[in-house]
Amino acid sequence: MTAANAWRRALRRPWVARIAVVVLLLALWEVAARWWVDPIFLSPPSRVFASLPAVFDTRGVPAALRVTFWELAVAFALSVVIGLAIGLAVGLKPFARKSFMPIILLLYGTPQVTILPLFILYFGIGPASKIAFGVSHGFFPIVMTIVAGVQNIKPILLTSARAMGASRWQTLRYVVFPHMIPSFFAGMRLAMTGVLLGVLLAELYVSTAGIGYFTTLFTQNFDPTRLLGLISVLAAMAIVLNEIVRRAEVHFGRWHTD
Amino acid sequence: MTPSRKERQGRLASRAVQATFLIVLIVLWYLATTRWRVSPLLLPNPVTVLHNFWDILRTGEFIGDLRVTLTELAAAFAIAATSGVTVGYLISRSQYRIRVFEPLFAGIYSIPIILFLPLYVLFFGLGPASKIALGATISFFPITLNTIAGFGYVDKTFVVAARSMGASDYQLFRHVLMPAALPIILSGMRIGFTVALLSIIGSETIASLAGLGHRIVHLAEAMEMAPMFAYIVFVVAIAAILNMLVSALEARGRRP
């Protein structure tokens, strides 16, 4: 009786209920995989979890994860640098913004995945093509948010800075940059999503050293246990990276209240 | 309000910059392939690409692949829209359920779901089924999240006012909840449509038997660069037309 009551009270908290839902889904998956579904297609979560060490023991997988992680990191860093440069160049001058924003929006709207084979052709099947494709997905959101952030600076701030005799660099340093920070971090979060998508798409398309090679290998060998294990590791990597930029966004965006 | 003369001149100038930019790009492309002798295996001549593009349109050889891709897209979007709106509506009916499920869905949505493509191929094979399933999964999340946001955060005053005027459940839904939620749901559907299109072309590129993405990869592997560029132009144009159509439908649906 009290146990049932305690349960009910605990379930009233949303996060407890949320965990209960996740556990329920895992249990359903476990039951389905054990008794209903052919084991060459799906394996139960308990076995996937138990096989994680085996995934890491597979020759080449740790190196592949390292390669993929580096591709993500380099692509993200390049996206930020390129996005910041283009964003500032286009955003700071109203004329440049009016001229080039439509072109950038047009490019952003096209499905870049159609030119994935071209990236492979130009940059080879190694990490360079993954990085380039990740950057092509990652820098657009940064350009967008930088331009929007620069545009939203109140003109009175710029005018008064200039009236007080601020040089061009001083205006940038003390007015433009601080006001750009919240939108810049929002852009970084979107860029991380884009970079993850781009790099993983390119990895899955063709890969010699990264994780794409192993997902293909496990799929072709009908080895769902190790495939699921590898995918969970990658999903965890994606969640951690997303969480880092999200935290950074909350942290650096909070001083700005208006 | 008519734009002032200065504004009009500014707009004309930026249009001129845009046109110049595009023309310079195409001229550079042309010069690269003729004067600077970039290998046609890396960059085909723009004129050849244009010829190939007309050939594709004239012979109608694109119809088979286009039909495959569009069928996949329609099926995936239909599944995602019906299940997304239903699930979203059911969740939005109580604050408790919103607090339980919304962070869960938002969390899953932040994972790049394209990661699961190998699993989908394992389950559903190389044919259209795996693309439909993946496209439906990926577009399910924005549609559900926007439906929750649309129905879940209707201003309480409206609901109370309608109730006190004696509105039935149906009337409340038809005249209060629906008009308030529709714009948000529609923009969720537009996002869902775009990501479904992207993921379907993407999964066709990675592993498939037919479809526009498959055709581009096929030409790339055969090193037939000019037809491949022509097909890229074709797919980009199709995607632009579809996105414009969906945006127009969304704008139309928003109007009360």
Statement: the pTM of the whole predicted model exceeds 0.90: no
Higher-confidence residue: A36 or A188? A188
Q: Which amino acid is at A209?
A: A
| Segment B207-222, tens digit of pLDDT | 888 888 889 988 888 8
Q: Evaluate whether residue A14 is within a structural domain.
A: yes
pLDDT band at residue B163 using 50, 70 and 90 as cut-offs: confident
Whether the CB-CB separation of A224 and A151 falls below 8 Å is answered with no
**Neighbour-count burial for B191-230, b at 16+ CB within 10 Å, e otherwise:** bbbbbbbbbbbbbbbbbbebbbbbbbbbbbeeebbbbbbb
CATH code, domain carrying A180: 1.10.3720.10
Test the A interface: residue of B6, B7, B12, B14 with most A CBs within 10 Å: B14
The CATH class of the B63-254 domain is: mainly alpha
Do A136 and A211 reside in the same domain of the chain?
yes
Whether the CB-CB separation of B131 and B208 falls below 8 Å is answered with yes
pLDDT at A136 over 90: yes
Q: Which residue bears the tokens 């089924």? A: B129
Q: Do B110 and A193 touch (CB under 8 A)?
A: yes
Distance from CA of A203 to the nearest CA of B (A): 10
- Please state whether B125 falls in left (phi above 0), alpha (psi between -120 and 50) or beta: left
Do A76 and A132 reside in the same domain of the chain?
yes
Q: Evaluate whether residue A83 is within a structural domain.
A: yes
Containing structural domain, residue A14: 2-36
Q: Mean pLDDT over residues A16-29, rounded?
A: 87
Do A76 and A179 reside in the same domain of the chain?
yes
Task: Tell me what percent of the residues of chain A surpass a pLDDT of 90.
Answer: 16
Distance from CA of A186 to the nearest CA of B (A): 14
| Segment B76-95, tens digit of pLDDT | 999 999 999 999 999 998 88
Do A17 and A116 reside in the same domain of the chain?
no
Q: How far apart are CA A148 and CA A43, in angstroms?
A: 47
Q: Mean pLDDT over residues B140-144, rounded?
A: 94
Do A7 and A70 reside in the same domain of the chain?
no
Q: Is B96 on the interface with A (CB under 8 A)?
A: yes
Residue B62 backbone dihedrals phi, psi, to 5 degrees: -80, -15
Q: Evaluate whether residue A258 is within a structural domain.
A: no
| Segment B24-35, tens digit of pLDDT | 988 888 888 888
Name the residue among B13, B17, B116 with its Cβ closest to that of A231. B116
Name the residue among B22, B118, B232 with its Cβ closest to that of A115. B232
Q: How far apart are CA A171 and CA A63, in angstroms?
A: 46
**Neighbour-count burial for B49-75, b at 16+ CB within 10 Å, e otherwise:** beebbeebeeeeebeebbebbbebbeb
Do A127 and A16 reside in the same domain of the chain?
no
Task: Tell me what percent of the residues of chain B surpass a pLDDT of 70.
Answer: 98
pLDDT, residue B140, reads 95
Distance from CA of A14 to the nearest CA of B (A): 5
pLDDT, residue A258, reads 45
Q: Which residues of A touch B69 (CB under 8 A)?
A: none
| Segment B90-110, tens digit of pLDDT | 999 888 888 888 888 888 888
Q: Evaluate whether residue A17 is within a structural domain.
A: yes
Q: How far apart are CA A161 and CA A178, in angstroms?
A: 13
Q: Do A116 and B240 touch (CB under 8 A)?
A: no
Distance from CA of A162 to the nearest CA of B (A): 24
Q: Mean pLDDT over residues A160-166, rounded?
A: 86
**Closest residue of chain B to A206, computed from CA coordinates:** B206
Q: Mean pLDDT over residues A78-102, rounded?
A: 87
| Segment B166-209, tens digit of pLDDT | 888 888 888 888 888 888 999 999 999 999 999 999 999 888 88
**Closest residue of chain A to B221, computed from CA coordinates:** A117
Do A80 and A31 reside in the same domain of the chain?
no
Q: Evaluate whether residue A47 is within a structural domain.
A: no
Do A27 and A59 reside in the same domain of the chain?
no
Q: Evaluate whether residue A41 is within a structural domain.
A: no
Q: How far apart are CA B197 and CA B185, in angstroms?
A: 18
Q: Which residues of B touch A236 (CB under 8 A)?
A: none
Q: Evaluate whether residue A28 is within a structural domain.
A: yes
pLDDT, residue B67, reads 92
pLDDT, residue B254, reads 73
**ipTM score here?**
0.82
Do A9 and A102 reside in the same domain of the chain?
no
Do A26 and A132 reside in the same domain of the chain?
no
Q: Which residue bears the tokens 């579809």? A: B242
Do A28 and A85 reside in the same domain of the chain?
no
Name the residue among B99, B114, B243 with its Cβ closest to that of A14. B99
Give kind and range of the element (H or E) at residue A163: helix A155-163
Structure tokens at A35: 């008794």
Q: Evaluate whether residue A243 is within a structural domain.
A: yes
For CA atoms B32, B30, A82, B220, the dihedral sign is: negative
Q: Do B239 and A100 touch (CB under 8 A)?
A: no
* Count of the separate structural domains present in chain A: 2
Q: Which residues of A touch B126 (CB under 8 A)?
A: none
Q: How far apart are CA A29 and CA B46, in angstroms?
A: 53
pLDDT at B119 over 70: yes
